[in-house]
A and B are shown apart, each in its own frame.
Chain A
């Protein structure tokens, strides 16, 4: 089991963001988490990358348990994850190359190996010609591809994508989803939080629906398409 959540709840002050959630995710799975704003999608992802810890219950991710985390465990866990956000969160003062290289640099990878990996990934993402650009010089789609490249550069076992197409037009959104599917086909588990699950073609993913912190409809794409 790659990720397991047992009776997990998360409260922010008096507001219950997630309630008694049980969830298991297998290696290589593509999971689409859907629901309206405030349903708990982002909270679920934050609990997986342990930006937040559960108020009750236990989250276990790639062998790291939320109730046994030591300070030095957080970097180790996060090197197994790649995270993509709706607002890209690229460092504006750095070039595309430096943004993508960051996860390898903070892991102490040699500059030569960093260069080799970043160049190859930028080529794969069709961003080679943009490697010296600053994020603000790129289009939204390009910025999101840079963010995905940064998330994938260290070969994570899980890619978390929090509304990655939220700021993109439909055509660019489709390219981003195709990219996530390709990443998944290569063996990386992908967890996509989105308000529109129909972006992911039927039969390619497992679907969860969250509403007010509760898991209400674990099911299939068809379930969404008929609503």
Chain B
């Protein structure tokens, strides 16, 4: 079996070596097609990162009624920290709120003076949530529960933008998946056509292999190998080209290149589309006994 596999691999190399120029042109075509996809997912990834960063900051701020004592506030914070989805709580006293206000908005600090000495910003409890609770569907019920608690005057959690943000992240994920599927189909057809041509070009070899008793997988393996190498090389080439474009744009547009996981995904998609293309190409190209 080892000899057979080695011979099949040798056949694959012979196939590729025999038409190196057209093989390289195909790889270039696949690279350019994949490059469109790479650029799309790079942009998507950067957008999604920004959206996710925004989503990371999603939390709840619970404003307490005037007159809630520190002991009551601590008790409330203890109850909240035990709730599902709550990662941590931070109690902000009235004095601390004023200090934050002055630090964050120094140009409006005079407002506090104008309000007079009896005015105090409300004490609050800032709640940080576990990542899986940072969507509008998960935050809203927690916020409703908090609103109903004694001593709470208001609950703020970004209800104006959070649903839109969650939807945007979701849509972007689906778009990447859809683009991947469309691209996988189109690249598969390019590879299928290449393999079909390769099979036609090698029809005598295919026929003789079959006549001398080569197993079906042995006849197919070189073409399958050619398809996988084409898809994989095309995907790798596209990543190089996209990386080059990314490097050229680095000084003008702040962005990040694809993370390793996504790069592995693109390479895997390349290999898979190559294999799929070979399979389609071989189905119509390799003869079977006529009945």
A residues contacting B by CB (< 8 A) are 49-53, 69, 71-72, 74-79, 81, 83, 89, 91, 93, 102-103, 105-111, 150, 154
Contacts and interface: CB of A to CB of B under 8 A. Distances in A.
B208 A74 contact: no
A99 B207 CA distance: 13
Contacts, number: 69
Contacts of A53: 289-291
B135 interface: no
B213 A78 contact: yes
Interface string B4-32: 10010000001000100000000000000
Interface of B: 1, 3-4, 7, 14, 18, 204-205, 207-216, 218, 289-291
Nearest to B4: A108
B18 A107 contact: no
Contacts of A91: 204-205, 208
Contacts of A154: 212-213
A72 B214 CA distance: 10
- Across the A-B interface, the 9 shortest Cβ-Cβ residue pairs: A106-B214, A79-B213, A108-B4, A103-B212, A78-B213, A53-B291, A75-B213, A105-B7, A75-B215
Contacts of B213: 75-79, 81, 103, 106-107, 154
Given A53-B290, A105-B3, A106-B7, A75 B214 contact: yes
Contacts of B7: 105-106, 108
B209 A106 contact: yes
A106 B211 contact: no
B4 A106 contact: yes
Nearest to B211: A83
Contact of B216 (A75, A77, A111): A75
B210 A69 contact: no
B230 to A, nearest CB: 21
A208 to B, nearest CB: 23
B278 to A, nearest CB: 18
- Interface SS of chain B: helix
Nearest to B18: A93
A35 to B, nearest CB: 22
A102 B3 contact: no
Given A75-B215, A91-B205, A91-B208, 10 more contacts: A52-B290, A52-B291, A74-B216, A75-B213, A77-B213, A79-B213, A102-B208, A102-B212, A106-B4, A154-B213
Nearest to A83: B211
B212 A50 contact: no
Contact of B3 (A49, A93, A111): A111
Nearest to A150: B212
Nearest to B214: A106
Contacts of B218: 106
Contacts of A79: 212-213
A72 B7 CA distance: 19
B3 A108 contact: yes
Contacts of A105: 3-4, 7
A111 B211 CA distance: 21
A110 B4 CA distance: 9
A50 B289 CA distance: 7
B17 to A, nearest CB: 10
A51 B3 contact: no
A89 B289 contact: no
Contacts of B1: 108
Contacts of B290: 51-53
Given A53-B290, A69-B289, A102 B216 contact: no
16 contacts: A50-B289, A53-B289, A69-B289, A72-B216, A75-B213, A76-B213, A77-B213, A78-B211, A79-B212, A79-B213, A93-B14, A102-B209, A106-B7, A108-B3, A108-B7, A154-B212
A87 to B, nearest CB: 10
Nearest to B6: A111
Contacts of A111: 3
A53 B291 CA distance: 5
A106 B291 contact: no
A110 B3 contact: yes
Contacts of B210: 74-75, 78
A89 B208 CA distance: 8
Contacts of B289: 50-53, 69, 74
Contacts of B3: 105, 108-111
Contacts of A106: 4, 7, 209, 212-215, 218
Contacts of B214: 75, 106
B41 to A, nearest CB: 40
Contacts of B204: 89, 91
A83 B209 CA distance: 12
Contacts of A110: 3
**For B205, B210, B212, which residue has the most chain A Cβ atoms within 10 angstroms?**
B212
